[in-house]
Amino acid sequence: MHKSAPRIELTEQERTELETMARKPSTAQGMAMRANIILMAAQGKQNKEIQKTLGVNKNVVSLWRNRFRLGRVGGLRDMPGRGRKRTYGHDERLKVIAKGCKEPLQAQTWTIRDLAEALS
């Protein structure tokens, strides 16, 4: 038997926030797409219809529908820890900034190589 998608019901505040996210030009495209998925789901549209309209994979629709159900609007945000980890820690970055803000000894401005050599 085929499992049905969870029903989405929005509060007025959630609907307003999602509509704003979907329309605002400064919203990241991924976030706008997530907002549109939830808005369409709240209208009672099935995953297949949402998938076809937005041109996304069925797993994407299912993922964001479930994330919204569990975390509401906050669940649509990216999880922490995504992306590449930093190579250098806080202290190392502060040393580079401090050194880069001082006048170089032999040149008018720092080059990346000169700065690296001065810090090694």
Q: How far is CA 5 from CA 11, 17, 106, in A?
A: 19, 23, 67
- For residues 52 and 106, state if they share a domain: no
CB burial of residue 9 (10 Å; 0-12, 13-18, 19+): exposed
In 3D space, the residue among 80, 83, 81, 82 whose CA is nearest the CA of residue 71 turns out to be 80
- For residues 63 and 96, state if they share a domain: no
Q: Which residues contact 53 (CB under 8 A, 6 or more apart)?
A: 40, 45
Residue 115, domain extent: 90-119
- pLDDT (tens digit, 9 = 90+) per residue, 27-36? 888 899 999 9
Give one DSSP letter per residue of 23-64, joined into a string.
Answer: H-TTS-HHHHHHHHHHHHHHTT--HHHHHHHHT--HHHHHHH
Residue 3 lies in a domain: no
- pLDDT (tens digit, 9 = 90+) per residue, 45-82? 999 999 999 999 989 999 999 899 888 988 888 777 76
- For residues 36 and 70, state if they share a domain: yes
Domain count, the chain: 2
- For residues 53 and 108, state if they share a domain: no
- For residues 56 and 110, state if they share a domain: no
Residue 63 lies in a domain: yes
Residue 110 lies in a domain: yes
Please tell me the pTM assigned to this model. Answer: 0.64
- For residues 51 and 97, state if they share a domain: no
